[in-house]
Structure 1
Amino acid sequence: MHQEVAQWFRQTARDLPWRGDCSPWGVLVSEIMLQQTPVVRVQPVWEEWLERWPTPAAFAAESPAEVLRAWGRLGYPRRALRLHAAAAMMVEKHDGAVPDTFEELLALPGIGTYTAAAVAAFAFGRRETVVDTNIRRVHARLVIGQALPSPALTSAEMKLAAELLPADPAESVEWNAGVMELGALICTARSPKCDFCPVREQCAWIKAGQPEPTYIPKGQPWAGTDRQVRGAVMAVLRAAEAPVHADLLWGPATEQDAAAAHLAHPAGVAAALGKLHGLNTHAPQLRRALAGLVTDGLAQHSADGYHLPR
């Protein structure tokens, strides 16, 4: 099984810039960006990011506002601030380098067990148990015979992943990457391409007759949610070069407000405001979104209005 997945991975793996000859910093940035965000959206931002900030020290020296602007529309922008804090700690405690052990990586701000294991494995060749959604799904089908893994990660899944990990460090890294790629390209959640699977003959799910899932995965809603409103407000603040007065956020501007906004802000702010106003958000939800952004450190409020953190 290990050999078949490894051979398939060598022949068909996507040519992604954070694989192969990539710095540990580039691997870490990719892992943070790829959380809940597809590759097609991450890759162009990642490439711009690494060109602008090729090292943790260069990134740590940047302002939080510029970090959030560069993060753009990747979503979940708190990831950007956590990475910024992690880079600062690397400068302070690791001479500006990404630490190379699971324990040291886990001690960085905003780095969880998955990211620490993934960076230790893919950047430094460590033998670590890497378990993401794709890997969990492949393990569930291939070994257990279930259509989908449990809704939440279990200790039994972690134990299985550890048991499946090859003893040789280099082979373990390739296994982790191969199974992850298999889940992303072949063993997908909704339409698995079983005819192209390199371990089809060993798959417990196929042998069991491909039973249906025991539950229906629920996607995260977007339209009308606080997340959508927060994202629209952040788009306004990213486009603005000066604080945005609260009155402009609450609804379509009067001619006088529009004229003032035109003088104070670039054209992109008007477009972002138009999208925010187009949501027809009720006042309590907008207040909640603004308060949440301030609490999370993604925005600041002063007498002049709302702006990105400085």
Structure 2
Amino acid sequence: MLHARLSDWFDDAARDLPWRLPSRTPWGVLVSEFMLQQTPVSRVLPVWEDWMSRWPTPADLAAEPAGEALRHWGRLGYPRRAVRLHAAATAVVVRHGGQVPGSHDELLALPGVGTYTAAAVAAFAFGRRETVVDTNIRRVHARLVDGAALPAPSLTAAEMNRAATLLPDDAGSSVRWNAAVMELGALVCTARTPACEQCPVLDLCAWVAAGRPAPTYVPRGQSWAGTDRQVRGAIMHVLRHADAPVPRPLIHDRPVDLAFGAPAALEKLHALNAPPEQLERALAGLLTDGLAEETPNGVQLPA
């Protein structure tokens, strides 16, 4: 009953996302999974479409410098994902003849691909029976089966075992189940304001039956304003829009040199009023992480 109801609901409620279309490619699914990590669909869609137009195959991306992946990552955040995706594309070309592999183990061996991403790509790109567990699925399982408002702060072995137990035996049904539960968590069984009245399995929900008990902990959101992460992001914004290496003094000083093609980005960076030591710390982190490189003429995206 549970599986049938969610499958029927998914037929009507599923969002029309390009990486779900019959015309999708394994590469398109892999790109979407990298981009969707900790990032909402609304922000990913335009960037994904740009990437797939610009680099429709792994070989297309691998032929470009890693800096181009960073440039077109835009403001998705966590730009190391762009560098890792570029490395994954290169590995696909070198190890697999340019074709994204379909097995969990081969996917897991690609740079930047973890257990979740390997399972998701194997399932959604290749139709394999895999236990896919993301944040949305964890939350739905916690409420529906355990009666808890939220899953544990970190993924547990018990959660993975429960997800494996709930997975249908048939490969096609298992893929649909994973997608349906994920969609229910994204659209209905949300973290802060679940729309229980719209839930197709409301009468089967252990959390509702228990009176919707409050969470046992309060999730901590990541601060942004004034942090090194904000300053790093602002510097990356400058580097993405610059058409030449950016001298270190220009990162610190307010006068904007229009020759660098990034006046608006520089203004935004300077408007943060970050102290010099924070600017240097943020820049040093970008250099260490391989998200920027220093040349005799200044700082730029990696070549």
TM exceeding 0.5: yes
Give the counterpart letter for 1:265 in structure 2: F
- For 2:218, the equivalent position in structure 1 comes to 216
Give the counterpart letter for 2:15 in structure 1: R
The share of aligned pairs that are identical, in percent, is: 66
| 2:294 match: secondary structure | strand
User: Which of the numbers 178, 181, 197 marks the counterpart of 1:179?
Assistant: 181
Q: Structure 1 unaligned runs (5+)? A: none
| 1:71 match: secondary structure | coil
- For 2:141, the equivalent position in structure 1 comes to 139
CA-CA distance at 1:56 after TM superposition: 0.5
Which runs of 4 or more aligned residues in structure 1 lie more than 2 Å from their structure 2 counterparts after TM superposition?
A: none
User: Which of the numbers 260, 268, 276 marks the counterpart of 1:283?
Assistant: 276
- For 2:15, the equivalent position in structure 1 comes to 14
- For 2:30, the equivalent position in structure 1 comes to 28
Q: Normalising by structure 2, report the TM-score.
A: 0.98
CA-CA distance at 1:241 after TM superposition: 1.1
CA-CA distance at 1:48 after TM superposition: 1.1
Residues 253-299 of structure 1 show CA distances to partners (whole Å, capped at 9, x for unaligned) of 2xxxx4xx22x322xx1111111111111122111100110011110
CA-CA distance at 1:251 after TM superposition: 2.6
Question: Superposed, which structure 2 residues align to 1:295-310 within 5 Å?
Answer: 295-310=288-303
CA-CA distance at 1:303 after TM superposition: 2.3
Residues 141-190 of structure 1 show CA distances to partners (whole Å, capped at 9, x for unaligned) of 00000000011111111111111101100000000000000000000001
- For 2:120, the equivalent position in structure 1 comes to 118
Matching of residue 244 in structure 1 with residue 246 in structure 2: yes
Q: Distance in 1 between matches of 2:21 and 2:268?
A: 40
| 1:306 match: secondary structure | strand
Q: Structure 2 unaligned runs (5+)? A: none
Q: Distance in 1 between matches of 2:279 and 2:142?
A: 41
- For 1:272, the equivalent position in structure 2 comes to 265
Q: Normalising by structure 1, report the TM-score.
A: 0.96
Residues 32-79 of structure 1 show CA distances to partners (whole Å, capped at 9, x for unaligned) of 000011101100111111011110111110111211111111111110
Q: Distance in 2 between matches of 1:229 and 1:137?
A: 32
Q: Distance in 1 between matches of 2:277 and 2:162?
A: 46
Q: Distance in 2 between matches of 1:49 and 1:286?
A: 30
- For 1:90, the equivalent position in structure 2 comes to 92
| 1:301 match: secondary structure | strand
CA-CA distance at 1:20 after TM superposition: 2.5
Q: Distance in 2 between matches of 1:38 and 1:115?
A: 16
Give the counterpart letter for 2:25 in structure 1: S
Q: Distance in 1 between matches of 2:283 and 2:21?
A: 42
CA RMSD of aligned residues (A): 0.8
Q: Distance in 1 between matches of 2:88 and 2:47?
A: 19
